[in-house]
Structure 1
Amino acid sequence: MAKSISPPAKGTLRAIRIFYELPEEALDMLESKCRWSTYDAGDEIVPYLDDRDDVYFLLKGKARVMIYSVSGKVVGFRDIEPGHPFGEYAAIDKLPRSARVEAREPMLVARLSANDFWTVMRSQPRVMEAMMVHLVAQVRLLTARVFEFSTLAVNNRIQAELLRLAGNPEPGSGPAMISPCPKHAEIAVLVSTHREAVTREISRLAKMGVIERLEGHNLRIRDVDRLVQMVQDATGE
């Protein structure tokens, strides 16, 4: 459940990427219009099909965009990291929420009305440009996921997700870290499979020396080139 808090230190919203270039006076005004809340892990932040249209800005913690099917199956779309907005779709098209957003860990969030969101977008071209880049990045991510679901076997989808979690390292860039690595059940949600399949594939990759499980829920991709090649071989690239 959301817990309302007093506004944090001045300039807190500067951590949100679309506001990086917002003039200080405009940022101060924007912060004065926000409502600030904290959430615990597992809390629902945005209900699926809700008709409210506020925009949220994630300052601390992580969230997941998902939908629960009638049978209870979880369909995960993407994770939200600090520095990013969410809930902007409903503010833009005035339709019900397209998915549920749930806290994965304790979070600090700022919430802005759709009207105030549009005011800053229309008055600040740099913010509008940054929002366009943000939305295109989401389209690219979801396009890649649809392609993977349609063309890749489960083990290859898991491989692709590990690369994504590591920040899509380039071949030849050396080892890459996933810190912390999500639980196997969480990875399964993102690639539309079950926990056991993720456990099997991660164990197989570890035996091959491609990845290495470390203390503290961390995972190292030791051979990025080989993992990338596995995915490329499966996609025919």
Structure 2
Amino acid sequence: MSEQGNPSPPVQADGATSTRPVIQVALHKVPLLSGLDPKVLAEVAAALHIRTVTKGQYVLHKGTMGDCLLFLLSGRLQAIDVTEEGREIGLSIITPGEYFGELSMIDDLPRSASVMASESSLVALLPKAQAQALIYNNPLVAERLLKRMAASIRRAADYRTILGIPNAFQRVFALIHRFAEKGHGDMITIDRMPTQQEIAIMANTSRETVSRALQLLIQKGIVEKDMRRLIIRQPEKLRKAANGDQALAV
């Protein structure tokens, strides 16, 4: 796998057994693998290579051949693409428990996007042969992967619509509206709010513009910051802002 700079060494040498029970417990929490036969999970755990990546380090590079399926065990990553002008565009945020790099496991083509660490992260790599065996020999895994692909296609279409919005503030509002989820009770929140830089990359704008857009939402009482969580106090007004309400568009 291609990485930017000198790749960090594995947390423990391949084949070592003392970390395998810990890894296997973590795999039970990975949605793609939950509910699988313990023997299958043990085989996956035994084949994994564990790497640490630091903030700003690339985990994958677009255009390189895919030799593994990857799982994020801890930390935070961002999938990005680069325009012909060299500008980074964020595609998605990857959080613990998620997997990535699956397309190359299926079509044997180069990576379709780059992935960079937004913070220090722990990544598990499953070699291609074992990844393909996992997918093709376990119908539940294949079904989950297909559903994930369908959801990704729908999100990509939605994201293209957002990028087509000419107003930068409205693009930021639309992304925040997209991130929001219903939490406890009737509260709508973004529990792990992406950083302003992550949003800027996804909205194809500057971090300063994201900061001003967020401050405007806060001043209007539409959202409220609570550490890394963003609480949506007025969901309908946020929806209108995302749809181009001239009272907020700048």
TM-score of the pair, normalised by structure 2 = 0.83
Superposed displacement of residue 152, structure 1: 5.9
- CA displacement 1:139-186 (0-9 Å, x = unmatched): 11111001222246322221121123333x49xx74433344333222
Runs of 4+ in structure 1 deviating by more than 6 angstroms, as ranges, are none
- Show the counterpart of 2:11: 5
- CA displacement 1:74-116 (0-9 Å, x = unmatched): 1111111111111111111111111111111121211112221
Distance 1:180 1:21, change over 3 A: closer
Residues 184 and 195 of structure 1 are in contact (CA less than 8 Å); yes or no, is this contact kept in structure 2? yes
C-alpha separation in 1, matches of 2:208 and 2:52: 33
Superposed displacement of residue 68, structure 1: 3.4
- Show the counterpart of 1:229: 240
- Show the counterpart of 1:191: 203
Residues 165 and 178 of structure 1 are in contact (CA less than 8 Å); yes or no, is this contact kept in structure 2? yes
Correspondent of 2:69 among 55, 60, 84: 55
Superposed displacement of residue 230, structure 1: 3.0
Q: Please show how residues 44-83 of structure 1 align to structure 2 within 5 Å.
A: 44-69=58-83, 71-83=85-97
Distance 1:67 1:233, change over 3 A: closer
Superposed displacement of residue 54, structure 1: 0.9
Superposed displacement of residue 219, structure 1: 2.8
Structure 2 unaligned residues grouped into runs of 5+: 1-6, 13-18, 246-250
Correspondent of 1:96 among 96, 105, 110: 110
C-alpha separation in 2, matches of 1:46 and 1:71: 20
Residues 48 and 97 of structure 1 are in contact (CA less than 8 Å); yes or no, is this contact kept in structure 2? yes
- Show the counterpart of 2:169: 155
C-alpha separation in 2, matches of 1:144 and 1:52: 27
- Show the counterpart of 2:147: 133
Structure 1 unaligned residues grouped into runs of 5+: none
C-alpha separation in 1, matches of 2:173 and 2:115: 25
Counterpart AA for 2:210: V
C-alpha separation in 2, matches of 1:21 and 1:87: 22
TM-score of the pair, normalised by structure 1 = 0.87
C-alpha separation in 2, matches of 1:217 and 1:71: 32
Aligned-residue identity in percent: 25
Superposed displacement of residue 130, structure 1: 0.8
Counterpart AA for 1:47: H
- Show the counterpart of 2:44: 30
1:220 aligns with 2:228: no
Q: Which moved more, 1:154-163 or 1:24-33?
A: 154-163
C-alpha separation in 1, matches of 2:155 and 2:66: 25
**SS of equivalent to 2:106:** helix
Structure number with the higher helix fraction is 1
